[in-house]
Structure formats: C-alpha cells, structure tokens
Structure 1
Amino acid sequence: MNYTVRSSSSDSVFLADFHHVSTIGATARNGVDRQAATAEDARTRDWMSAWVEKHGFDLRVDAIGNMFACLEFVADAPYVLIGSHLDSQPLGGRFDGAYGVLAALFAALRVKESVAESGQMPRFNLAVVNWFNEEGGRFAPSIMGSSVYAGLFDLDEMLAVNDLGGTTVAEALTDIGYAGIDTPPEAVSYAEIHIEQGRILERERKDVGVVESSWYTQKLDIDVLGEQSHTGATAMADRHDALVAAAKVVLAVANVVDEFDDEALVSSVGQHVVEPNSPIGVPRRVHMVADLRSSDPAVVRAARDSLKAQIADIALAHDITIEIEDFDIRDKRYFPEAGVELAEKAVANEGLSMRRLETMAGHDSVAMNHRVPAVMMFVPSVDGVSHCEREFTTDADMLRGLAVLTSVAHELIRGELSEERDVTIWVGRSVAEARMIAGAPTNAGMSA
C-alpha cells in the first residue's frame, strides 16, 4: 500500500497534545501521578474520549476498563490493535505508557487519512487501546487489562482485587465512570511503542529498539508475622519484631543477585505494609512483594529457592513466622520473527538506526503476545530513568517513534503479520514452540 503522511503539522499537534496530557496529574518535579482508576486517571481517560469523538473514531470500553478507539475499514473484519496505557506509577514519569497511547492515536489518524486519500481498502480494521492498570501501583497484579483481554487473568477475579484502602477494581471503575459493558474488538495483531526504560539505545546512539523477547519474571508475596508490643516497655530479648526480620529479608532479596553472573538477575522489594505502623508499637506484621527477573528462567528459579532457604533461617533466628507464596509468574516470551523484521524494515525506511534487544520490564505487548502476534518497539530514555519524576525522552525521539509506529500500523492492516502460521497456531503455545514458530534460534541468549 502506498500512503502519504503529512507529518510536519501533525507532529506539532501531537507534541502539543502529549505535553497537555502531561499536565493531568502533574507533580511538582515534572512527573505525573495517575494511578489506575483514580480521579487523575479519569481526567486522562476523559481527554482521550473527547479526542476520539473529535476525530471520528468509535469508542468502546470493556468490563475491565480497557478503552478502544476503533476505525472500521472492512465490515466484520478483525482489528489490528496499537496502543499502551495512560495510568502511571505513584510519583511516576510522564512518558511511560502515555507516549505509546498518544503515538498510537496519531498513527491511527494518519492511517485513516491515507486510506481515505488512496481509496485502497486494507485487509483489517484498526483500533487504539488504552489498557487498564498496566502499572499495578494501586491494584496488583500489573498488566491487568491486557492480561484479561489476552485470557491470562480471569475477569471476575481481577474485578474483585482491592487496593490498600479496600476499594475493589469494580468499585473504582464505577466511581470514575469507566465500568464498561462493550464487547472489545477482536484482535488479529498488536503493536506498541514505548520508552526504553533503560540506557542501551542512548549509550549506543540508536534511534529505535526492536524487542525480540521479554525476561522471565517471578514475584514472591511475603508476610512477616511477629508480635505487637510496647517499644519502651518490652525487653529486647522478648521482642518478635516483624520489621527487623523484614529488613533482613529485603537485604537477602537485594544480595541474592551476587550469587549469579553480573547483570544476570535483577531483584527488588518495592512495597511494604507495616502494622500497626505506630511510633510506640513494635511491628506485628510486614507485608511485601519481592520481584525477581532474568533473561534465563533457571536463574530466577534458583534465586527463588535460595531466598526461600534464607528466609526460613531468618524466621527461625527471630522466632517469628514468614509466609511466602509465588505470585505473578510471567514466562519468557519471544516475539514473532516476522514482526521483528517488519519493525526493522519500518525503521530502515525512515532512515533511522536500530538494534534488537530484550525487554526487562513487563509491558502490555508481552501479555498480548500470548494471544496474537505482537510487535514491540522502544525509543531512547535519557539516563535510562523510569518510574521516576525525572523520566525523560526528547521530542525528536518521540516523533521518530511515531513515524515508525505509523509505518508498522499501515503494514499490519494490510495483513503483513497475519498469515496462518502467525495467528492460528500462535495462541497457547509453549515457549519452545513459540520460538520455533517465531523463527528464533534455539540457543538465543540475552541480546541487551
């Protein structure tokens, strides 16, 4: 399909809209705080709804709060989905997720205009999606909306998830007016562009990264159960301090990476809930979630086993109980080779530089890659900083990514990633089978 993109004027409109959206939920240090189904998230969703209506898209909202801005070119045909998420981390950055949604909206608008001008009807329809609760800061697990859509999470179970204040997802979506009832469009493929959240592209001075696989992720739900007592009146020998034991667990999680090769494993504990959280009360309970990630699933499993043994020793030494449950395990996934090559061609056609890499972070594209062939692309992040108020990507890099996403979207609606081998036998396959289907080498290792 030959198409014409009038990018110069729409580039400035895209940048203006992106920077406007960045004012919604803005923080004092140039970040945003738009956690899922909060008032700030609702304002961003309302902006998208108005944009969709203004530009003649059909808006659908499904039961988990995913928003779909649909363009129907061919009656009864399935849809190519492009997009990301508008929710953020607490005190997060303004680029993570939101860039991908805004870029998808403008890419879709350019596709709509070029199809109208050429008169050449594509094979598939196109929809821009804002996935619900990708970040997981308020409601766990993360990547919720796309995982429900992909059939990885149960809808009713996710609607029943509650935040730390006891509000459920279902209640929160109702409160902000986005508890949808629409049937979502049926996807045939998916594409997403995102900031890298790392330093590889910046360090190597590459314009675009094309993602070929995702890291294996394992979380541990850890409950440290001690005994509440008086901070002044209880002898040290008589205390069962859950927080002291929890501090040693945190250190164990941090230090477990030293048991493996450099850069083979990342680990963290990002959230604590301390009870009773009183200045004169010895803590009786600490709840935390540990996060382990590696390109090699065997490394994560070995780290998990090591941590469980260390945590058992900590519990014994402090005469307390520590309960551990496996949580939110995400397999290593390989993106289809045909999609990787399609993205590479789009980058080359724009005259840009690129490299293949893995994603250490989870994304909606990883969930969608379980259901349909997915394409994932990155633009550079300054200093590799993300989930932080000083997260930054330049306007020039955002525009380069927009151009590439537009090209990819054009190719996808033509059916370039929808041959039988890429769609009908993609869903439900094991990692080994997916590698074979994708054309990935069986000994592929870490490329980032």
Structure 2
Amino acid sequence: MTTDNDVLADFRALSEIGATEAGGVERQAATVNDRLAREWLVDWLRARGFTTRVDRIGNLFGCYEWHPGAPYVLVGSHLDSQPRGGRYDGAYGVLAAAHAACRVHERFAESGDRPAFNVAVVDWFNEEGSRFKPSMMGSAVYTGKMPLHQALAVTDHAGVTVEDALTEIGFLGAEDGPRAAFAAEIHIEQGRILDKEGIQIGLVESTWAAHKYQISVVGEQSHTGSTVMADRQDALLGAARIIVAVRELADRFPEGALHTSAGQLIVHPNSPVVVAREAELHLDLRSSSLDVLHEADEMLNREFAAIEMSTDVRIVKKSAHFWPASEYQPEGVDLARELSGELGLSHRPMQTLAGHDSTNLKDVVPTVMLFVPSVEGISHNEREYTKDEDICTGVDLLTGVVERLCRGDLRQP
C-alpha cells in the first residue's frame, strides 16, 4: 500500500519536470515538458500493473481492468500548466488519482473482491487552454462537447496545430478512451475559503457559469509620427478602453456577483513606430447567475459600441467558450460527505468558480469533485502552495471515493 511519504516523494519528483527557479512549473500543453511529465506518469503506472492508452485528442489513461468490457471509474485531472504556473494546479489531482487507484487495486487484491467497475487514471489534455484555446479541450472532446476535428485543427500563436503538436510529442492516439461509468477529480481550491476557515475538504456542489470571448479590435496601420491624431484608427487604444471597461463592469454589480478579466493581448504589427492595425484580446465573464452573465454581456455590447465610435475602430466579438452554472450530482456529494465523516475530516459544501475537467464529465456521468486548501488562495502563480498534510488527506479521501465508485455504491442514472 502506498504511503504518505510515497505520495510526497512522487509529487516532488513530478514537480521537477519543467520546474522554474521561483518554485513553479512550465508545462504548457503538448510541449516537451508536458511530454516528459506524461512519460513519467506512464512509467509510474506501468510499474504498478496499469496498462496505458491515449485517445485521439491526447487524453492519457492508465487502466486497471477487473471486468473486461465493463465501464470505468475515471479519476484524474491534468498535468499541463499555465506559463510559469504553480506545481499543484492539476498535477496534484493526477498524482492523487494515481495513488488512489493504486491503493484501491491493492485493497481489492487483498480482499479478493471484484468490483463492479474498472478504474482508469486520467491526464486530460490541455485543461489550461494557455497554448491552445479553449481550455478543458481533452475532456470536452471526450464528452462530445467539442468535435474532434475542430480540436485537432486549433492552432497556437506560432501556427502549430493541436494535431501536429501531439504528433510531435508522441501523444496523438488512434483509439477512443475507455467508457465511463463515473468520474472523480480532486483539485486545490484556488481560492482562500478552506484555508481561511481551517477546513480540510471542500465538497463541490455546483459550478459558476462562464462566458469567454475572443475579441479582435480592427483599426488601420499608420505612422506614429506623421499621422495626425484625428486621423488615427488605433486598435491598441480601442483594446485599452475595452480592458478598462471590462474591469469596471464588475463594479456595476453587487460585490462578488461578477468576475471579469481581460488577458492575452496580442498587437499587430507590434512595432514602436506603427499605429496598431489590430489587437486581439481574450475576455472572461463569470457568475453564479446566468441572469447576471446575460446582463453583463448586454452592458459590454453597449460599451463596445461607444468605444467603436470614440476611437474609430471596429470590434469583432466571437464566443470562445461557454458553460452554464450547473450542479454536481447530489448523490456524489453525499458520498464524499459520508466518507469525510468516517475519516474525521472537516468539510463544507462549495461552488467552483474555476472550470475543471469534471465540469464536462458531470454532464455525462455522475461525478464527484473535491477540493483541498490553497494557502492564501494563490493559483496560476509560482507561489501556489498546499500543505503536505492536506495533500495526503486528499489522497485518503479520494481513495475512499474511488473504492466506493468501483463497488457501484453510487446510483447510476
């Protein structure tokens, strides 16, 4: 049976892959460091009796089969990171899944029981969406929310397609992933509620809604010296006003009702002596209320019209990614609550403001989502940190959840 020391040693080893000087990791999807992390996981799984397979969108599965042909409990998260991201986001969930599945395998071997369902550890491809948009791509394709051909054709800023990038690192599979009966994921909270309240486990009951947009601000390229101010169609000026408008939009709602952001600004031609002809941005609106989200979108469209008038640019808005506010199956929440009580763990119900692969999985199979604390709520940052005892506690609880799911203790729809 794997121990807490094994978990921590493996986490340290995994964190060395793509490690940054400030204590984070750099493992964007389908890069060399992503490949190295995946190869490390493949070796770990195979050494413990799991078979590995990769599907057509690059999702990596480590499978243990008790009943040939039976569906699987899928448990995992993602190994890819943000640029100069944290060690824990995603990777902890994959490692916890690997240890939980290994422990469950050993428990059934010792007892001689044969569970109703098989188990598979999963590293979902491109959860972060930093190199290739949208985020949660691998799980979206697996669950049928995004067509495979569309995902494979997505390009990064250098023009490299997902298909070519996966081929380059040797993780473009030629088969379907295993059929799911249930799913589970554990993740750092990426917020400060659990840390602030001194609670060990978050039982995720529901998700916030999110609407992400790809924005192009189109102006006209000209000389910064000779073009008089009145004649300029400055795409960068229009983008700057959008950034301010998006931030101020959040302040027009009650505190905490709406989260907004603008990121990934790309300017063309990005020359110091040229008025920009185009600027590309990625906008993100999130709320627990679809009504708030729709109202914010209407306000934003009015702001766009005003910005177009005042700066003489054209704004093109394309929806990049959307998911509604929705609930996880209450039976899964109840199961996790019961097991938390048996282990003597403090716990509380929670919403997830961030998207996770389980956000997609819960729409097709009963899914359990768990949080462990994030110190000070820091995430997508090299200073991201979760205490060792919380790492190990999460693995203990996830092990119980996976065992019960494999036994078929959670009702299927």
TM-score when normalising by structure 2: 0.99
What letter corresponds to residue 144 of structure 1 in structure 2?
M
2:340 equivalent in structure 1: 347
Q: Post-superposition shift, 1:183?
A: 2.6
Q: Is residue 218 of structure 1 aligned with residue 221 of structure 2? A: no
1:395 equivalent in structure 2: 388
Alignment of 1:40-79 (within 5 A): 40-79=33-72
2:377 equivalent in structure 1: 384
2:229 equivalent in structure 1: 236
Q: Is residue 168 of structure 1 aligned with residue 161 of structure 2? A: yes
Q: Is residue 183 of structure 1 aligned with residue 176 of structure 2? A: yes
- 2:73 aligned to 80, 96, 104, which one? 80
Alignment of 1:430-441 (within 5 A): none
What letter corresponds to residue 212 of structure 1 in structure 2?
E
- 1:26 aligned to 9, 19, 25, which one? 19
What letter corresponds to residue 143 of structure 1 in structure 2?
M
1:329 equivalent in structure 2: 322
Q: Post-superposition shift, 1:240?
A: 1.1
Classify the secondary structure of the residue corresponding to 1:250: helix
Partners of 1:376 and 1:278 in 2: CA distance: 46
1:15 equivalent in structure 2: 8
Q: Post-superposition shift, 1:346?
A: 1.4
Partners of 1:207 and 1:291 in 2: CA distance: 30
Q: How high is the sequence identity, in percent, across the aligned residues?
A: 51
Alignment of 1:101-112 (within 5 A): 101-112=94-105
Q: Post-superposition shift, 1:89?
A: 0.5
Provide Cα deviations, 1:369-423, integer angstroms capped at 9, x if missing partner: 1110110000000110101111110111000000000000010001122x3xx43
Does the 8 Å CA contact 1:242/1:320 hold for their aligned counterparts? yes
Q: Post-superposition shift, 1:75?
A: 2.2
Partners of 1:223 and 1:183 in 2: CA distance: 36
Q: Is residue 141 of structure 1 aligned with residue 128 of structure 2? A: no
Partners of 1:211 and 1:54 in 2: CA distance: 33
What letter corresponds to residue 220 of structure 1 in structure 2?
Y
Does the 8 Å CA contact 1:100/1:193 hold for their aligned counterparts? yes
What letter corresponds to residue 52 of structure 1 in structure 2?
L
- Unaligned 5+ runs, structure 1: 1-5, 424-448
Does the 8 Å CA contact 1:225/1:242 hold for their aligned counterparts? yes
What letter corresponds to residue 275 of structure 1 in structure 2?
H
Q: Is residue 283 of structure 1 aligned with residue 279 of structure 2? A: no
Q: Post-superposition shift, 1:323?
A: 1.1
Partners of 1:72 and 1:143 in 2: CA distance: 26
Q: Is residue 295 of structure 1 aligned with residue 288 of structure 2? A: yes
Q: Is residue 92 of structure 1 aligned with residue 85 of structure 2? A: yes
Partners of 2:217 and 2:155 in 1: CA distance: 21
Partners of 1:346 and 1:145 in 2: CA distance: 30
Partners of 1:326 and 1:77 in 2: CA distance: 38
What letter corresponds to residue 22 of structure 2 in structure 1?
R
Provide Cα deviations, 1:169-218, integer angstroms capped at 9, x if missing partner: 00000000001113311000000000000010011110000000000000
1:432 equivalent in structure 2: none
Structure 1 runs, 4 residues or longer, greater than 6 Å off? none
1:405 equivalent in structure 2: 398
TM-score when normalising by structure 1: 0.91
Partners of 1:416 and 1:293 in 2: CA distance: 34
Does the 8 Å CA contact 1:60/1:183 hold for their aligned counterparts? no
Classify the secondary structure of the residue corresponding to 1:221: strand
Q: Is residue 374 of structure 1 aligned with residue 370 of structure 2? A: no
Deviates more, 1:226-235 or 1:165-174: 226-235
Partners of 2:58 and 2:48 in 1: CA distance: 21
What letter corresponds to residue 290 of structure 1 in structure 2?
L
What letter corresponds to residue 242 of structure 1 in structure 2?
A
What letter corresponds to residue 20 of structure 1 in structure 2?
A
Q: Post-superposition shift, 1:145?
A: 0.3
2:194 equivalent in structure 1: 201
What letter corresponds to residue 260 of structure 1 in structure 2?
F
Partners of 1:84 and 1:325 in 2: CA distance: 28
Deviates more, 1:141-150 or 1:322-331: 322-331
Partners of 1:209 and 1:294 in 2: CA distance: 19
Q: Post-superposition shift, 1:230?
A: 1.3
Classify the secondary structure of the residue corresponding to 2:108: helix
Partners of 1:56 and 1:243 in 2: CA distance: 55
Q: Post-superposition shift, 1:357?
A: 0.5
What letter corresponds to residue 146 of structure 2 in structure 1?
F
Alignment of 1:306-317 (within 5 A): 306-317=299-310
- 1:37 aligned to 26, 30, 51, which one? 30
Partners of 2:101 and 2:320 in 1: CA distance: 36
Partners of 2:57 and 2:176 in 1: CA distance: 11
Classify the secondary structure of the residue corresponding to 1:259: coil
2:358 equivalent in structure 1: 365
Q: Post-superposition shift, 1:340?
A: 0.2
How many correspondences in the alignment?
A: 413
Provide Cα deviations, 1:315-358, integer angstroms capped at 9, x if missing partner: 11111111112221101120011000001111111111000010
